[in-house]
Amino acid sequence: MKKELFHAWQDAYYPGGISQYAETGIVNIEFEAKVFKDLIMQMGTYSAFFKTETDEEKRINSEYGNWIESVKEDISILQDRSVYNYWLDLFNEYNPAYTSPISNQLTGFDSLNNIISSSNCF
């Protein structure tokens, strides 16, 4: 439910809504929503990298959890585009349900950063 509410925010935030990213950029939209959801979840219940069947999936899940926890401590970490691209590429690779060409128009956590800067929750 939290993720779907965030999708509604994204739809209002991005000019033209998010349906324009159905072919190119769905991975960007979904990853940003997963990060939003994971920032408010408890450690170990993250949704972006949930598969842990292989050693590589376990490693990624653990690294992602550490990254999310560090973002909770210092929200400015979300400004780092190279880190965003690193996690976005992995999300695109390891989540086939959301795999799509990456949109160059969505180059960061724009709607997430906007909602964070507009609130006092973080």
CA distance 37 to 98: 16
pLDDT single digits (tens) 38-85: 998 877 777 888 888 999 999 999 999 999 999 999 989 999 999 999
pLDDT at 122: 54
Q: Write down the pLDDT at residue 14.
A: 92
Computed from CA positions of residues 115, 67, 83, 32, in that sequence, does the dihedral angle turn out positive or negative? negative
Question: In the chain, what are the domain boundaries?
Answer: 2-117
Q: Which two tokens stand for residue 38?
A: 């994971």
Contact indicator for 109, 78 with CB cutoff of 8 Å:
yes
Supply the pTM of this predicted model: 0.89
